[in-house]
Amino acid sequence: MTMPAISAKAPGKTILFGEHAVVYGYPAIAVPIHAVHVKTIVQPAVETGLSMICFRNKGAEENVPLNELGSSHPIHAVVAQLRELIGQDLPPFILTITSTIPITAGLGSSAAVAVAAASGLSQFAGKKLTDTEINRIAYQSEIIQHGTPSGIDNSVIAFEKPIYFIKGKPLQTLTINKNIHLVLADSGERTLTKDVVSQVRKSREVDPEKFETIFSAIGQICRGAKAALECGDLAALGKFMTENHLHLQEIGVSSKKLDRLVNAAIGHGAYGAKLCGGGKGGFMVAICEEENQESIADQLRTFSPQVIETMVTKEG
Ligand code: PMV
């Protein structure tokens, strides 16, 4: 009897409040973004007996034998940890990874790949893991990818729920009281998150007081935003987002293009907007009323290479 193919999926994410400060122990809020996702399909490698990874992206396909990926590859880390958790080798497999999440753009592409790979491969090996176990595996994979990740990306993606996250503390999922309409727009620029995080670390060493003041203000914003999310106060959320963006500008992680997107979104009726993720490029996120969403998105499309209209529902 041939084993059926197994598929798994993981969403993208956006950080609504608190990126960078979260690395230093301050709270942050992130939500899953279902408009983009990673899908994995796992099939047994019956004919060759050789485990293969097949990366599919926009019509292009790359097939790499698992043993050629190298031990520093994030997928290698996922497989190695699964092996340890299960206590045995996985049967030979073909893992196909397809993603609609833009890479290095602040939308959690690497964490989603790790989550969808861990979920698919564990089911293939006959062991269904809990979200907590998948989250742990994805975090190890993120360490390889990003160096010193806070863990917020893998957490929001593994649990697929809005989260209030403090590094090293038990995860809190958030109950939101109103559907939230978001517009995300690409600056078209790219900088690796680990490079931006390292730049912030160096600047913080030069002026620790300035950075503590800013991070602590971002922490306050997060606490206020948590309450606003829970009671569905969109206008307050927007105000907090724009304030958060100003602080991200102060620590030097915005860019002219991100600022232009933020200003345009607000100028066309969004409650507020900010860059999201590591910054120095990647996406901006704006919060708005449902009836404004399309017109804001259309305006941003005139100069952004990719605009995503999405909604975070009460269910996540
Ligand atoms: O760029 P992203 O989507 O990986 O988000 C990074 C968020 C940071 O706070 C800048 C880093 C981290 O590890 O939390």
For residue 92, count other CB atoms closer than 10 A to its CB: 16
CB within 8 A of 224, min separation 6: which ones?
236, 240
pLDDT, mean of residues 46-55? 93
pLDDT at 309 over 90: yes
Tell me, using a 6 A CB cutoff, whether residue 153 lines ligand 1: yes
CA distance 114 to 144: 11
pLDDT at 1 over 60: no
Confidence (pTM): 0.96
DSSP at 162 = -
AA identity, residue 187: S
Ligand 1 center from residue 243 Cα (angstroms): 18
Cα–chain-centroid distance for residue 6?
24
12 and 287 in contact (C-beta within 8 Å)?
no
Tell me, using a 6 A CB cutoff, whether residue 154 lines ligand 1: no
pLDDT of residue 72: 80
90 and 124 in contact (C-beta within 8 Å)?
yes
pLDDT at 267 over 60: yes
Indicate the pLDDT class of residue 3, thresholds 50, 70 and 90.
low
In total, the chain counts a number of residues equal to 316
- Residue % of the chain over a pLDDT of 70: 99
Residue nearest ligand 1's atom 5 by CA? 277
For residue 126, count other CB atoms closer than 10 A to its CB: 10
Q: Is 90 left (phi over 0), alpha (psi -120 to 50) or beta?
A: beta
Ligand 1 center from residue 18 Cα (angstroms): 9
- Residue % of the chain over a pLDDT of 90: 89
CA distance 303 to 301: 5
